[in-house]
Structure 1
Amino acid sequence: MKRYFTVEEANRQLPLIEPLLISLQQLKREISAKNRDLQAAKAALGSAAAEDAFFAEEAETEFLMMQANSLIAKVHEHGAEIKSVDLGLIDFYTLVDGKEAYLCWKLGEPHSIRFWHGLYEGFVGRKPISLLKNAEDPE
């Protein structure tokens, strides 16, 4: 079931979500580096490499992916959608004039939602919260 947030409700989630996003970014960098190294090692050995020669490295990468998926699930449990891991960009559903919209926050911004946008406008369509009467109480 979709949950709609007021600005205040979303703001309360930010300190809980921020460390999850930071950890997720670190994991993504680690996974990318391991994948690059693994592909380079496989390319260096060519087709002569045994299938199980890289089992440990592949298993380690798979474990890191499981950790990343767990962090993503935790962010979702807080009601946020991850729009970009690299940017640390998340959105919360809200209602604006009875229509669905997003409250938008980016890692590095203060722990207060300052922007919102329509469902299909994305990050470039962000508007200041000050232009919004207030995200409606979903009740």
Structure 2
Amino acid sequence: MPINQSTTPTVAPASTDRNRFSVEEANRALPYVQRVVEDVVAVYSHIVELRRKLEDLGAGEEGLDLEHQYEDAMDRLGDLVDELHLVGVELKDFEKGLVDFPACFAGRDILLCWQRGEAGVGYWHETDAGYADRQPVEALCE
């Protein structure tokens, strides 16, 4: 059965006039961000499952119902990503629940980094780096 949308939705780039977070501000926003990210991970997992089922099915009523569920889940995921963008957070990984908070340190843009399951925003990386280059926020004070 053809599916018009990929399993991985696109993430809109953050605007250039976005807010900058301090570590404290990011941690204050974290309870809300965490709830949204939990929903993102759950909905994304459901989308992946629906996608597999749709690929295994041929045309028919069951496939049509699954396609509607898939489209609804994709819409829900888009709404959740929009919620994160409104806060000023960039979603980096749908499966892991990885987000970046734009920040500024010593006059340069950086990203504070948080992943689902972590107690707080405890890492950062350069804007042109990624998860593998995360450093503890304490390193910013050295």
The answer, yes or no, to whether TM exceeds 0.5 is: yes
> Among residues 106, 114, 121, which one is paired with 1:113 in the alignment?
121
Amino acid at match of 1:59: H
2:9 maps to none
Q: What residue number does 2:135 align with?
A: 127
Deviation at 1:53, TM superposition (A): 7.0
CA distance in 2, matches of 1:115, 1:12: 15
In structure 1, runs of 5+ residues without a counterpart are 43-48, 135-139
Among candidates 34, 38, 41, match of residue 18 of structure 1 = 34
1:95 equivalent to 2:104? Answer yes
Match of 1:58 in 2: 67
SS at match of 2:117: coil
Could you give the per-residue CA deviations for residues 14-37 of structure 1, whole angstroms, max 9, x where no partner exists?
Answer: 100111111111111111111111
- TM-score, normalisation: structure 1: 0.84
- 1:29 equivalenced with 2:38 (yes/no): no
- One-letter code aligned to 1:117: H
TM-score between both structures, scaled by the size of structure 2: 0.82
Question: Helix, strand or coil for the counterpart of 2:56?
Answer: helix
Question: Identity rate of aligned residues, in percent?
Answer: 29
Aligned residue-pair number: 126
The CA RMSD over aligned residues, in Å, is 1.7
Letter of the 2:19 partner, please give it: R
- AA aligned to 2:121 is I
Task: Tell whether the 8 Å contact from 2:45 to 2:95 is kept in structure 1 after alignment.
Answer: no
Task: Name the CA distance, whole Å, in 2 between partners of 1:62 and 1:85.
Answer: 17
Give the drift of 1:41: 1.0
Which structure's CA Rg is the greater one?
1
Q: Distance in 2 between matches of 1:53 and 1:88?
A: 31
Cα 1:127–1:53 change in 2 (3 A) is: closer
For residues 49-90 of structure 1, the C-alpha deviation after alignment (integer angstroms, 9 at most, x for no partner) is 46x773322122101110111111111111110111111111
Helix, strand or coil: the match of 2:20? coil
Identify which of structures 1 and 2 has the higher relative contact order when contacts are C-alpha pairs closer than 8 Å and 6+ apart. Answer: 1
